[in-house]
Amino acid sequence: MLNIAVFASGRGSNFDALYAAIAERKMDARIVALISNNSGAGALEKGRSLGIPAYHISRKQFGDDAAFAHHLLDVLRSHATSLIVLAGYMKRIDAVIIREYHRRIINIHPALLPKFGGAGMFGMHVHEAVIAAGEKESGATVHHVTEEYDEGTIIAQERVPVLPGDTPEVLAQRVLAAEHRLLPSVVEQFANASVNP
Ligand code: GRF
């Protein structure tokens, strides 16, 4: 059984899609915890309403980075977490967590990395940049998490077209639909012992 901790800062639609897919496809996986740096995150509400342990844990609650990271590790260990899924999590993951969960932390990014990643490339900024660059396609990427933003090995991508007249908001919706397919399919690979992503 793959024990998944989802980290999310915002509305949590990827968390929702993953939760639904685990049930529908009867994956050998379960979401054991939801963690957010943002007390107002929709994702926390969704987690609580599903009976999933949901934690608001923010750097501001701790004296230093090390105390914050160790508290996160305690929570992750208390749920026997085997995979961390960053689904719209806006904070950097501390090196001690990356070391303990080596190749067991994945992130979903709303563009075709390595393009349109890195500092400042989050939310609508990504889609604005894709349109401004005149790209003909965009998409979603799931990648391993390293200490640098958006730089870990790419595990899977799904492409979508950029259509004439697309606004960033319209493109964001098309990419989000791809994210909701891609993230569960990658998690399923992790849950499936025959594949080693
Ligand atoms: C998604 O577009 C994800 O790729 C990005 O943040 C957004 C989160 O959306 N990292 P949601 O909170 O899952 O609805």
Round to the nearest angstrom and report the end-to-end CA distance of the chain: 16
Tokens of 18: 């993953």
Asked whether the beta carbons of 140 and 182 are under 8 A apart, the reply is yes
pLDDT tier, 148 (very low <50, low <70, confident <90, very high otherwise): confident
CA distance 38 to 45: 11
Ligand 1 geometric centre to CA of 88 (Å) = 4
pLDDT in tens, 55-93: 999 999 999 999 999 999 999 999 999 999 999 999 999
Q: Which atom of ligand 1 is nearest to the CA of 109?
A: 4
3-state SS, residue 3? strand
Quick one: pLDDT at residue 147?
82
pTM, two decimals, is 0.95
| From 79, 109, 127, 143, active-site residue | 109
- Kindly tell me if the per-residue pLDDT of 98 is higher than 60: yes
Residue 164: C-alpha distances to residues 120, 125, 135, 167, 171 (Å): 25, 19, 10, 9, 10
Answer whether 88 contacts ligand 1 (Cβ < 6 A): yes
Residue nearest to atom 1 of ligand 1 (CA): 88
Ligand 1 geometric centre to CA of 95 (Å) = 23
Ligand 1 geometric centre to CA of 189 (Å) = 21
CA distance 104 to 81: 10
- Kindly tell me if the per-residue pLDDT of 106 is higher than 90: yes
